[in-house]
Amino acid sequence: MSIILLLASIVIPIIMFVISKKRNKVKLFFDGVALVSAITFGNIAATSIYEILKDKTVFMTNIHGIFLNPLFLLTGSYLGLYLIYQLPHIIIKR
């Protein structure tokens, strides 16, 4: 399973990069999804931490419960892929 994740983290950003070079609207789509993902990811994290602090249940198991949220995992995964996708753009500009 870990080899699949490793390969996906390399192949998917490359595909995203190639597609975005051919079509500018796709680049805008990737950027928009990243923006929505960042907002969602941040809000889920902030809400979870607030609830833990409010309930005064600061235990490792409580804070790690955030990883059970599929939306948190999905948005975080996209942000990771998006970051890797953006690196070649940054390197090429330099």
- Give the separation between CA 82 and CA 68, rounded to whole angstroms: 22
Residues whose CB is less than 8 angstroms from the CB of residue 17 and which lie 6 or more positions away in sequence, other chains included = 85, 88, 89
Domain ranges of the chain: 2-93
pLDDT single digits (tens) 33-84: 999 999 999 999 999 888 888 888 766 677 788 888 999 999 999 999 999 9
Residues whose CB is less than 8 angstroms from the CB of residue 10 and which lie 6 or more positions away in sequence, other chains included = 84
User: Among residues 44, 43, 24, 31, which one has the least CA distance to residue 78?
Assistant: 31
pLDDT for the residue numbered 72: 95
pLDDT for the residue numbered 38: 97
Largest CA distance in the chain: 51
pLDDT for the residue numbered 85: 95
Amino acid identity, position 44: I
pLDDT for the residue numbered 14: 93
pLDDT for the residue numbered 63: 78
pLDDT for the residue numbered 59: 67
pLDDT for the residue numbered 51: 87
pLDDT for the residue numbered 3: 92
Q: What is the model's pTM?
A: 0.86
